[in-house]
Amino acid sequence: MAKGPRWTAEDRKRLWKMVQEGIPEQEIREAFSYQDAKGRMRIMSSSEFALQLKRAMIEAGQLKQRSSRNKRRTRHVYKVTNTGRLTISDFAAITGAKPGDTFVLEPPRGRSKAWRLVPKE
């Protein structure tokens, strides 16, 4: 059975106002005490405080949420030639490799299927 939210938007507004007034975290957490399933009074935990504070700041417009910038990464497709060679024209730009650097191709390890191109030591 799912439990309902412990703190409402009104509670978060009150929490944000208390934070702005400079009330210490411990006093705010004690003000937001609740009864647990056994009927004992519990004060808000520090992790609950942090979560509710973040939600309150978002609701107050203090924090802005935005989607990830890296959603639309362009994927470069490289083809292997008939002779088994792979030409990567932008390799130096991507890896920062300099002319004359040498690399070794390592086979996959463990359950991985990814081949690794590592600098030769």
Q: What would the pLDDT profile of 61-107 be if each residue is shown by its tens digit?
A: 888 877 766 666 677 777 888 888 888 888 888 888 888 888 888 89
Give 11-20 contacts, CB < 8 A, sequence gap 24+: 11/52, 12/52, 12/55, 12/56, 12/59, 13/56, 13/59, 13/60, 15/52, 15/53, 15/56, 16/53, 16/56, 16/57, 16/59, 16/60, 16/62, 19/53, 19/56
Its pTM stands at 0.51
Query: Which residue would you say has higher pLDDT here, 74 or 53?
Result: 53
Q: What would the pLDDT profile of 106-117 be if each residue is shown by its tens digit?
A: 899 999 998 888
